[in-house]
A and B are shown apart, each in its own frame.
Chain A
Amino acid sequence: MNNSTKQTLRQGASAAWPICLGYFPIGLALGVLAQKAGLPWWAVAMMSVMVFAGSAQFICVAMITAGSSTPAIILTTLVVNLRHGLMSSALAVYLQGVNRGFLALYSYGVTDESFAVNLTRFRKGGWDRWRALTVNHLANSVWIMATICGALVGQFVPQGALGIDYALTGMFICLLVFQLQGRIYVITGLLAAALSVAWYLLIPGDSYIVGASMSAATIGYLLKRRYRRGR
């Protein structure tokens, strides 16, 4: 391995560790639930490799337990994961003109967490697609291992140890702070918070993430444009 590859891997790892820390307990919990639902460990591994989407995997296990049909589970997965389309669109700003083979591989690892970390880094500068891909795949590896561990030995791990359940919440809070680069970002964030809570309470299902974030970004964009014109 030459030095620049090493550096890419090291910087990728140093950006990815909060994600890995957060994924571990969640992956364990998923593995335990899946095992209780009757999935063998290899099916858990297969799901984590083929799907790699935490919340959809939890819902899948719950639906298998409830005896739902395969088409119902697949349709629910589609709805729950549509939000990643929005994240991919935002990432496209920083991956202009990159070859399609790379993008096809990169897309596999676009999750809420890798998106938030990589986008923050891209925006700050000094970040490139290979470092971003390293983040995606490190997070993916930890997720696959954690879910398998959970299926095999998860029932012996104590719940809630060291506050590790808060790792991803803490990470999102800090990444949110990094995004606040002006008044319009603060306003958009507050709008999205209020809208998502109201949407979550009033409308069943998972449309609140996509619905609230698109609405808030649109209102924020219109406010910004109006403010610009007004000057």
Chain B
Amino acid sequence: MTFNDYLFLFGGMGLVTYLPRALPLLYLAHKKMPQWLIDWLSLIPVAILSALLAPSLFTDAATRSFAFGKLELLVAVPTLAFALKTRSLGGTVLIGMLLYWLGGML
């Protein structure tokens, strides 16, 4: 591929990535939002975080099938407990990494 091919490809990708990020923000930040929308949006973060996490813990990506007891899930249990107990972001990240590293060596 030439420089121009890359420029066209990444320019297109950049545009379709940027617009969904920018348009809702530009629109909603200058509009009085109705209370129902604010209430609904307040549930979006917990829902998105769950939807990003759960498939990586409970499924096998290569075969796209259900998988129970992956190392990712086994490590997630104590990591979750640690997060609930300490509420420390940095600590949770490091504990998760440590357990995953140790688990991978077993």
Contact = CB atoms under 8 A, between A and B. Distances in A.
Contact of A106 (B25, B27, B54): B25
Interface string B10-22: 1111101110111
A78 B23 CA distance: 14
A197 B72 contact: no
A196 interface: yes
Interface string B43-68: 11111111111111111000011100
B20 A221 contact: no
Contacts of A39: 1, 6
A92 B40 contact: no
Contact of B104 (A56, A108, A160, A191): A160
A75 B13 CA distance: 8
Contact residues of B: prevailing secondary structure = helix
Of A38, A56, A92, chain B has the most CB atoms within 10 Å of the CB of A92
Contacts of A216: 43, 47, 50-51
Contacts, number: 290
Interface in A83-117: 83-93, 95-98, 100, 103-104, 106-108, 110, 112, 115-116
Contacts of B94: 170
Contacts of A70: 5, 8-9, 12
B96 A107 contact: no
B106 interface: no
Given A173-B79, A176-B46, A209 B51 contact: yes
Nearest to A78: B16
B47 A173 contact: no
Contact of A85 (B24, B39, B54): B24
